[in-house]
Chains A and B, each alone.
Chain A
């Protein structure tokens, strides 16, 4: 079957253990204020705005979709800026076998693959199909990078075949969570519990956003949550960056290094080497 893929990063050191191919799926079910890749959020609605904004004539409408001519593109990203729909004219539709071929061609370089997004679990059938094929042919591991806003049925299917999950927690305070993401964190915290028990919750990611979720108490709370959850999951503290952000948060400066260090040190006190620094 076919999947919608925003981009494939062949060599990633930050999407799970070892060297991985990271596959960014198109489409998301949240709309975070600080989303760094807002162009992955929605599917294209053919409004044509990007076509008019491309200075190179690299985009045109044909066959009921936007066709993208790679050879003309100068990567100016004006199309992404112009798209009001949080989408991209460049995502591609790909057969699972096509993706499988890219993975197999580079197998010797890889420890595994990671599905990210967007929210990759929205295309659960596609990723299951790819993972099954990959596992049949290789010893590569498969990881899922998810926002946790997904249903039990999908998770049940995934835990049977993947090797690890990376889950985002945007905020523990539900009000703040709603403000940041538009949805409640309840189901996400339930999924966190569930995944923790499967032994597959490799990593929890927490983006520090000034004034939203970055008090010392906030950081202590998330650290204790992880500590009490199990004895293996690592917590990655990520400083906010304005790059790519399309909302009012684009005006926020990059997260202060000093503040970051203070919070990171708080987390270390609780989680010791289970907290991972991202500079």
Chain B
């Protein structure tokens, strides 16, 4: 859309128009300087900057140190350190309006349970509930973006419980929630509550606290789409590599691993570094942001992210093997990921002080327009093997990623009656190396009742009957069709 089209469009509201106009203005500049070969890769769609714009003027993801903000208040915002829960909630609602990101909404709203717990006893329990509910509703209404992400845990707190209970009641997509989960630190009761809520509303995700702590230290946050980054830091940019498209460029597997892959990963790093450099040196972000001036972010905690997706199809294209089913496929997966990691680590990451000077490696979990290509290193939707094999296969691959990797596991409804069983699987997944475990239940009515098997033909019969009875097909969203989300394997029929 050109500027006039944006302004005269009747389908876009004021706020969105402003966002698009800013983007249009940014894109009147030429793209940050790139080599010819790298431009080609971007044009072909082998690399994709996920619509970040030509001349970035703020980091893609920022994780302000909200705890510090609560301790010191903010001179810039004219906010005093809070004395009670009223002040605390207000202080948070204020600062969220001033946290830049790629979407215009903060992708990280903080470790809210720990932050609020400090003030929880300044009011009655009833008031605390009301205030926290108000905060959560405020976030949902003023930051209506599914990438807005809150963290809780690993330890159980009163505030953490209240947050889960209220979210369960509100049933809204925003904010996203991650539970930092640790067998050692998270109480069984809290984990159970979280799992119950997750089976009902798809969040919180279970984040492998012990693993991620080992990589990033205790002070990390989960932002946006499963990105694990240092608090007080963030990521300048996320550029992703479509492994399927890259594979289609190769003559054969050898050509891919020896030539095509190193070449495109080199380009990937080039785009990333050029963008990061632009933010720091041209846009002078750290010299202008109050977050930086007041110490709520520090360039030393920042990094960039190199994302990949379509590993499943890449292996299929090059070898004919199916990840998760053919045992040999994992060997290729390992080799491909090691190679990418090797190339990334051989290049200096501009300003990537938060991850030892190297660009972070990220398994990108997909965007709406991805058709016929699987997110990150996941197994294709609908083709997942048994849940244990899925976890074992993916767990072995999660080790390569230091800035985010995840998968979603879908259980049938019986899971809700056996939370201990669900947690057993979560624990095993953590042991198997899964870094972020998202879970959900199929809303299928047909489940194994008790002690008997459900046959596929019965499920189909049932589904046919179901479609006849209820033709309110509310599943129109294109993204659902495109990425076959509903075909995701439900663990009910073997």
Q: Which residues in A have some Cβ–Cβ distance to B below 8 Å?
A: 6-15, 17-20, 24, 36-37, 75-77, 80-81, 105-106, 108-111, 116, 145, 166, 168, 205, 236, 238-239, 241, 243-244, 276, 278-279
Contact = CB atoms under 8 A, between A and B. Distances in A.
B45 interface: no
Among B415, B425, B461, B462: residue with most chain A CB under 10 A = B425
B74 interface: no
A16 B247 CA distance: 46
A108 B432 contact: yes
A111 B455 contact: no
A13 B457 contact: no
B451 A109 contact: no
A15 B457 contact: no
A80 B428 CA distance: 36
Nearest to A9: B494
Nearest to A15: B451
B420 interface: yes
17 contacts: A6-B453, A9-B494, A10-B388, A11-B425, A12-B448, A18-B421, A37-B453, A76-B457, A105-B388, A108-B427, A109-B425, A116-B451, A239-B449, A243-B454, A243-B462, A244-B455, A276-B417
Contact of B452 (A11, A81, A110, A244): A244
A19 B455 contact: no
Given A106-B388, A108-B428, A14 B418 contact: yes
A108 B431 contact: yes
A13 B458 contact: no
A108 B457 CA distance: 32
Interface in B443-494: 446, 448-458, 461-462, 491, 494
Contacts of B212: none
B271 interface: no
B424 A19 contact: yes
B492 to A, nearest CB: 9
Query: What 3 A-B pairs have minimum CB-CB distances, sorted nearest first?
Result: A19-B421, A13-B418, A77-B457
B386 A10 contact: yes
B314 interface: no
B450 A8 contact: no
A137 B409 CA distance: 29
Interface residues of B, number: 35
Contact of A20 (B413, B421, B458, B491): B421
A219 B432 CA distance: 45
B431 A37 contact: no
A241 B418 CA distance: 22
Contacts of A8: 494
B448 A14 contact: yes
B456 A243 contact: no
A13 B421 contact: yes
Given A10-B388, A278-B450, 14 more contacts: A12-B414, A12-B448, A14-B418, A18-B424, A19-B421, A19-B422, A19-B425, A37-B452, A76-B457, A77-B457, A116-B451, A145-B451, A238-B449, A243-B454
Contacts of A166: 451
A14 B461 CA distance: 23
Nearest to B446: A243
Contacts of B453: 6-7, 9, 24, 36-37, 244
Contacts of A279: 413
A11 B491 contact: yes
A241 B272 CA distance: 57
A19 B421 CA distance: 4
Among A105, A108, A238: residue with most chain B CB under 10 A = A108
Nearest to B493: A75
A45 B101 CA distance: 69
B72 to A, nearest CB: 45
Nearest to B491: A11
A95 to B, nearest CB: 20
Contacts of A110: 424
B391 interface: yes
Contacts of B411: 13
Among B415, B431, B457: residue with most chain A CB under 10 A = B457
A6 to B, nearest CB: 8
B21 interface: no
A13 B449 contact: no
A109 B391 contact: yes
B418 A19 contact: yes
A24 B432 CA distance: 27
A224 B360 CA distance: 63
Contacts of B462: 243
B387 interface: yes
A57 to B, nearest CB: 18
A17 B417 CA distance: 10
A179 B421 CA distance: 37
Among B411, B415, B428, B452: residue with most chain A CB under 10 A = B452
Contacts of B457: 75-77, 81
A20 B425 CA distance: 10
A214 to B, nearest CB: 15
